[in-house]
Amino acid sequence: MRSVLITGGAGFIGSNFVRYLLAAEPAIQIVTLDSLTYAGSLENLRDLPGAERHRFVEGDIRNGDLVVQLLREHAVDTIVHFAAESHVDRSIHGPMPFVLTNVVGTTTLLDAARQVWLEDPGGPRSGVRFHHVSTDEVYGSLGPDDPAFAETTPYAPNSPYAASKAGSDHLVRASAHTEHTIERINGTPVLRLRNRLLPLVNLRHLLKLDDTSGAAIRRGAKGRAAQEAAAAKQQAAAVPPAPPAAAQIDRWPRAPRSRGRSWRRAGPAPRAEAAPVPRPLKYQFRLSTAGSGRR
């Protein structure tokens, strides 16, 4: 990762990623592409560390010619795609901008990457990454007692915003599995951020941004290997470990209660450390005569 194009880099999360990456990677060059709508501001990019290694370009991700020009001019080997129309309420009142930016814009970026990285003579064809940043909104809503979302959770978007982000997720995934696109150059990971947990007014939550940015860098550096390792870890966590023997005995199945009689264990496995239970007289007699061979 030597030259990075960051879309939506003047927004809240994107600008923090720019700042983090410049500080963490002293040799890296960054181009930020942002259309400076309601969600972006140049104030977010003031006083950057290593500002001489950063260039800002005001433009739209749907402008394919501009994206191709930037990829070629700066020999970009990594795209980190933050740019998106967001906010659920805005999408309900006007869904079309969300479709155009989140779906059409993502498709434009993928097409530009394919053109420059795969089709240009002398294109890099290896050592490149397309990093698509999504949202947990694509999974729907969680109740108070529901388990946390995982990457294997089925998609269930509940708003035009979530549906447009889910659409962009599917387009990126499809590109990673299409013969003539980014799969041929090391895959296309999708990183989902819980952006609802990062309000600008909450300083405590701002501390999470460095963790998020660091995770994005590590995920991009490792590519598909990181995805496979995360999937294996998630699958292993889904299988609960076998309980110890004592715990198994403690949960031994019980026989159903019958009328007028006390219930007893259904099987022959008593508690491992339970004190011996006094038996009726006939069992005491059998035990006392066991040594003489009497039955």
User: Looking at 34, 60, 85, 137, which residue is catalytic?
Assistant: 137
pLDDT of residue 279: 57
DSSP string covering the chain: --EEEEETTTSHHHHHHHHHHHHH-TT-EEEEEE---TT--GGGGTT-TTGGGEEEEE--TT-HHHHHHHHHHTT--EEEE------HHHHHH--HHHIIIIIIIHHHHHHHHHIIIIISTT---SS-EEEEEEEGGGG----TTSPPP-TTSPP---SHHHHHHHHHHHHHHHHHTSTTSGGGGT---EEEE-GGG--TT-HHHHTHHHHHHHHHHHHHHHTHHHHHHHHHHHHHHHSPPPPPHHHHHHTPPBPPP-TTS---BSSS---TTPPPPPPPHHHHHHHHTGGGT--
**Which of 247, 245, 246, 265 has the alpha carbon at shortest distance from 255?**
265
- pLDDT (tens digit, 0 to 9) for every residue of the chain, 295 residues total? 789 999 999 998 899 999 999 999 999 999 999 999 988 899 999 999 999 999 999 999 999 999 999 999 999 999 999 999 988 888 999 999 999 999 999 999 999 999 999 888 887 777 888 989 888 899 998 888 998 888 788 999 999 999 999 999 999 888 877 744 443 333 344 544 443 333 333 333 344 555 555 555 555 555 555 556 656 666 666 666 555 554 444 444 555 555 555 445 445 555 555 556 555 554 444 444 444 444 4
Does residue 134 sit within a domain?
A: yes
For 5, residues 6+ apart whose C-beta sits below 8 A from its C-beta are 31, 33, 67, 70, 71, 74, 76, 78, 79, 80
pLDDT of residue 150: 83
Does residue 186 sit within a domain?
A: yes
Does residue 190 sit within a domain?
A: yes
CA–CA dist 205, 200 (Å, integer): 8
Does residue 244 sit within a domain?
A: no
Does residue 217 sit within a domain?
A: yes
Does residue 258 sit within a domain?
A: no
pTM over 0.85: no
**73 Cα distance to chain centroid:** 31
Total domains, the chain: 1
Residue 67 C-beta-side C-alpha neighbours within 13 Å: 27
CA–CA dist 249, 259 (Å, integer): 26
Task: Specify the CATH number for the domain of residue 57.
Answer: 3.40.50.720
**137 noted as active-site residue:** yes
Does residue 291 sit within a domain?
A: no
User: Looking at 161, 169, 183, 228, which residue is catalytic?
Assistant: 161
User: Looking at 60, 136, 139, 169, which residue is catalytic?
Assistant: 136
**273 noted as active-site residue:** no
Does residue 267 sit within a domain?
A: no
**119 noted as active-site residue:** no
Domain region containing 135:
3-238
